[in-house]
Amino acid sequence: MRIEPVQTVTVTRAVAAAPDTVAARIAKGPVPREPRPLLLRLGIPLPATVSGISLTPGARWTFCYHGDAHGDGGQITAEVAESAPGRVAFRVVGDTTITARWLALQHADLTWHPGTGGGTEVTMSMTFRRGLDPVWYFGPVENAFVTAAAEHLLDTLDVS
């Protein structure tokens, strides 16, 4: 019996940009860049390219990873499940990355709304299935890495 294999992380940022500016940046899709979160600078695979950007339900975003000594980098394909003003939800429909054996991303929700003091509050939630046990060790480890990945995705969407 596995204990709590499905986990969700949430990252929220208050940004100076107006909600319509944030929406326009999200609609352009992510632009891969060097990661800011320390954990991701430790050699964790990151997308080299992203294609298929659209916020239309059914559209697919494909995140392609570089290969390394461990094998082909693979890709994650996320489909837009829902899209509405201030919200886009994705479900992962394919994952051939090397990290898929340790954790499987399932879905992500990105929301944005006017902040209380102006600007915009942006929230990214990512749900994944942990592939490693014991939970007392790998639960916090995988949670920390997925949290860093959510922060990095917000960075690549330029919503800071």
Q: How far apart are CA 28 and CA 30, in angstroms?
A: 7
At 147-159, the pLDDT tens digits run: 999 999 999 998 8
Domain annotation covers residue 3: no
Yes or no: say if 36 and 155 are a contact pair by the CB < 8 Å rule. Answer: yes
pLDDT, residue 69, reads 63
Entry field: residues in the chain = 160
- Would residue 71 count as lying in a domain? yes
Please state, in angstroms and as integers, the Cα–Cα distance from residue 110 to each residue in 34, 79, 89, 124, 158, following that order: 21, 13, 6, 5, 13
What is the rounded distance in angstroms from the CA atom of residue 80 to the CA atom of residue 6? 21
In a domain, 32, yes or no: yes
User: Do 106 and 121 meet the contact criterion of CB atoms below 8 Å apart?
Assistant: no
What's the rounded Cα separation, in Å, for the pair 126 and 80?
Answer: 14
Q: Is residue 142 part of a domain?
A: yes
pLDDT at 81 (0 to 100): 98
Whether 145 is in a domain gets the answer yes
The distance in angstroms from the start CA to the end CA of the chain is 41
For range 57-63, the mean pLDDT: 96
CB 78 within 8 A of CB 106: no
Count of domains forming the chain: 1
> Residue 139: which domain range?
9-156
Q: What is the pLDDT of residues 74-119, one digit of tens each?
A: 999 999 999 999 999 999 999 999 889 889 999 999 999 999 888 9
Domain annotation covers residue 78: yes
pLDDT confidence band for 40 (50 / 70 / 90): confident
User: pLDDT exceeding 70 applies to what percent of the chain?
Assistant: 97
Average pLDDT of the chain to the nearest whole number: 91
The verdict on residue 1 lying in a domain is no
Any idea which residue has 């204990």 for tokens?
3
Residue 33 belongs to a domain with what CATH number? 3.30.530.20
User: What DSSP character marks residue 22?
Assistant: H
What does the alpha-carbon distance between residue 30 and residue 153 come to, in Å, rounded to a whole number? 7
Q: Which two tokens stand for residue 56?
A: 């239309």
Domain-located, residue 2: no
